[in-house]
Amino acid sequence: MSPSAAPAVSLDPVLSSGTVPRHVAIIMDGNGRWAKQRMLPRLAGHKAGVDAVRRVTREARRLGIAALTLYAFSSENWRRPEQEVGDLMGLLRIFIRSDLQELVSENVRLRVIGDYRRFTPDLVAMIDDAVARTAANNGPILAIALNYGSHAELAAAARRAALRVGADGIDEAAIEAELDTHDLPPLDLLIRTSGEQRLSNFLLWQAAYAELLFVETLWPDFDAEALAAAVTAFGLRQRRYGGL
């Protein structure tokens, strides 16, 4: 079995032992390859990827994961063709319109990390409204990374920390307090789909002691069973944080 593969074991012992990760992050990779394999346009892969988001967020709630962070649009994705960027923005609008009420009714609190204010004003307004409508919820957190890059996050956090405590007062706690994820639980598990084994400028600080899991499954094929298998794999690992 590959070191990155999730073992085919029952999830029930993991759930009962209390080893479900509090915070899971996913690099949702493989939409384009999924579409290419089926001789479909890339937009079809992105649409299938949105369906996977729905399946996985619902399963995360069922499993009791407190926070789920999804890498939806990186700061590097602007380099893609203008048509594809427009398609992604359109799918984001559709997702907000179609799924926001479910998040509200399921007591999910929506968070957005990244500089999403670079988007068009109408989309920024939609995102702000969605965040505001779920702000009073006290259940699981769904964090969406939009126009996010970890290098930019860390640089901005350092600037804010310097203004708040001065250069000599900057330490790890000062940086962490200024990160986009400052109000989320520590990252426990980071999953990347599609077989690629790199972090692609995603949650670099937060992933310092996270468990990493790279799976071959393309994102549109990632489902509830795949997330449950990843949680099971997490529960079987030993986290030493540098100790014995």
String of DSSP letters for 87-136: HHHHHHHHHHHHHHHHHHHTTPEEEEES-GGGS-HHHHHHHHHHHHHHTT
> In this structure, is residue 15 part of a structural domain?
no
Per-residue pLDDT, 19:
85
Residue ranges of the binding site for Mg(2+): 29, 211
Span 179-216, pLDDT tens digits: 999 999 999 999 999 999 999 999 999 999 999 999 99
Whether 2 and 197 have beta carbons less than 8 Å apart is answered as no
47-77 burial, b at 16+ Cβ within 10 Å, e below that, comes to bbbbebbebbbebbbebebbbbbbbbbbbeb
- How many domains does the chain contain in total? 1
> In this structure, is residue 182 part of a structural domain?
no
Is the pLDDT at 238 greater than 90? The verdict is no
Residue ranges of the binding site: 29-34, 42, 46, 74-76, 78, 80, 192, 198-200, 211
Per-residue pLDDT, 18:
56
> In this structure, is residue 16 part of a structural domain?
no
> In this structure, is residue 82 part of a structural domain?
yes
| Least confident stretch, 9-23, 30-44, 73-87 | 9-23
> In this structure, is residue 203 part of a structural domain?
no
Question: Could you tell me the residue range of the domain that residue 132 belongs to?
Answer: 21-149
List, by residue number, the catalytic residues. 29, 77
CA 160: distance to chain centroid?
Answer: 24
Residue of 139, 148, 144 lying closest to 126 (CA atoms): 144
Cα separation, 133 vs 145, in Å, equals 18
> In this structure, is residue 122 part of a structural domain?
yes
> In this structure, is residue 99 part of a structural domain?
yes
Is the pLDDT at 26 greater than 80? The verdict is yes
Q: Work out the mean pLDDT of the chain and round it to a whole number.
A: 93
Per-residue pLDDT, 240:
76
The amino acid at 226: A
Per-residue pLDDT, 7:
45
* Rounded mean pLDDT, 71-100: 97
What CATH number should be reported for the domain holding residue 97?
Answer: 3.40.1180.10
Span 93-132, pLDDT tens digits: 999 999 999 999 999 999 999 999 999 999 999 999 999 9
> In this structure, is residue 96 part of a structural domain?
yes
Residue ranges of the binding site for substrate: 30-34, 42, 46, 74-76, 78, 80, 192, 198-200
Q: Give the three-state DSSP class for 229.
A: helix
Q: CA angle at residue 222 from 189 to 153, to 5 degrees?
A: 45
